[in-house]
Amino acid sequence: MTVEQVDVVALFPSPSGEPGEYLTLLREALEEAGVRCAQASALTPAWARHHSRAVEVVHLHWLEFIAPSDSSRFVGAAKSARRAVRLRQALRRLQRSGVSVVWTVHNLAPHEPVHLRIERWLQRVVLAMADAAIVHSEHARAQVANSLGHARKLHVVPHGNYLGAYPPAAQSSAAQRRALGLADEAFVYLSFGQVRAYKRLPDLLDAFRSLPDENIALLIAGEPRDPQEAARVRAKATQDSRVVLDLRRIPVGEVAVLHGLADAAVFPYHEMFSSGSVLLAISRGLPVIVPSGSAGAELAAPPAIAPIGIDGTAAALRAVRRGDRRVRRQTALTAAARFDWKTVGNQTARVYRLARQQRAGQRLAPGTFCR
């Protein structure tokens, strides 16, 4: 028997329905591809027992939300371990009932691990049990294969873009700039998203401060996750009047606003495993500064991208300003359009079918990957 169609898939965590949220966009794309998505709140052995006959595939995403760590190092380790074990029990129960398991590997490791040994153990267990796994780039596929193994299970399905995903800005860019104290003629670099240590924002501030240009600005917008990191960012920012901080949780309605007033987006990370934030930027027509050789560097070509190479972040900050702004914007938008959600939905549904074939014991051709 050949599996032609997958009827019901449960996504974990469950989509919240917010515009622009990855899981919401994925669910819509899957439903357009003919896959019904079940609503569920938590993946536990009890849920598995009651729903194993109702779903054909369980699709896991961020494991840190499924089996989260606790802030307490002692009690939290025990809680995290129990949650991880319960997740494994739930997956075993589902698979004994014929349900396939798919995991999208969004991060090679948690950004701020609390109980690293438990979290790494859970990753290895889930990948070993999964019938198929999804990564968003060839860069990510190589990283996962080298770190966790199971290369034959890995299927490359790109992250979808954010074209039209957020409501448009209600004000003009000039009005938005004035509200933040940014000059109309300034070239504005945007660092958007939660303020977290792995993003190396203090290093970005040092690189920005090394630029002598008066007619530039750096806007850092996002909610602080770590008070100490936020304090370091604030201390560095006070040393340069060209830096503007907007450290708060950014409402969905302001995402397009902040990207609309910027000229380029900056991602000065040591390593970039996933590409969602870069896709958001190029979907808004912004050229991006990303680590050379990273997942983000696979998405676009110059002038829509300026890789951070051996010359460092300051050189990339200068490079992204070269050339015509309209050409940079159009190149970014053209790159983003390649990653449409209809294709993502169809390719993800194909991975589900392969996972169902694997669970049914059907042989797959060696090296069968989705492209």
State yes or no: pLDDT of 106 exceeds 80: yes
Q: How many residues does the chain have?
A: 371
Are 59 and 187 found together in one domain? no
- The verdict on 323 and 245 lying in the same domain is yes
Let me know whether 213 and 274 are in one domain. Answer: yes
Q: What is the mean pLDDT of the chain?
A: 88
Which alpha helices (H) appear in the chain, and where do they start and end? 22-32, 45-51, 63-66, 75-96, 116-129, 138-148, 173-180, 201-209, 227-237, 255-260, 276-283, 313-319, 325-337, 341-359
Please say whether the dihedral angle defined by the alpha carbons of residues 52, 53, 59 and 61, taken in this order, is positive or negative. negative
In a domain, 12, yes or no: yes
pLDDT tens per residue, range 195-232: 999 899 999 999 999 999 999 999 999 999 889 999 99
Same domain for 80 and 109?
yes
Range of the domain at 249: 173-337
Residue with tokens 């515009």: 19
Q: Is residue 368 domain-resident?
A: no
DSSP-assigned states of every residue in 50-70: HHTTT-SEEEE--HHHHSPPP
pLDDT at 193: 92
Whether the predicted pLDDT of 167 surpasses 90: no
Domain for residue 369, yes or no? no
Helix (H, G, I), strand (E, B) or coil at 123: helix
Radius of gyration of the chain (CA): 22
- 1-36 residue pLDDT tens: 345 667 789 998 888 877 779 999 999 999 999 999
CA distance 159 to 360: 28
Asked if residue 156 and residue 31 are part of one domain, the reply reads yes
Query: Residue 121 belongs to a domain with what CATH number?
Result: 3.40.50.2000
Q: Are residues 64 and 203 in the same domain?
A: no
Quickly count: other Cβ atoms within 10 Å of residue 364's Cβ: 12
* Number of folded domains that form the chain: 2
SS3 9: strand
> Tell me, what's the pLDDT at 77?
73
Q: Is residue 271 situated within a structural domain?
A: yes
Does 3 fall in a domain? no
The band of 364, judged by pLDDT with boundaries at 50, 70 and 90, is very low
Query: Residues 333, 196: one domain?
Result: yes
**Pair (200, 145) in one structural domain:** no
Residues 187 and 308 in one domain: yes
Same domain? For 302 and 215 the reply is: yes
Looking at the structure, do residues 123 and 140 belong to the same domain, yes or no? yes
Tens of pLDDT, residues 53-79 = 889 999 999 887 766 655 544 446 777
* pTM of this structure: 0.89
Q: State the average pLDDT over residues 289-296.
A: 83
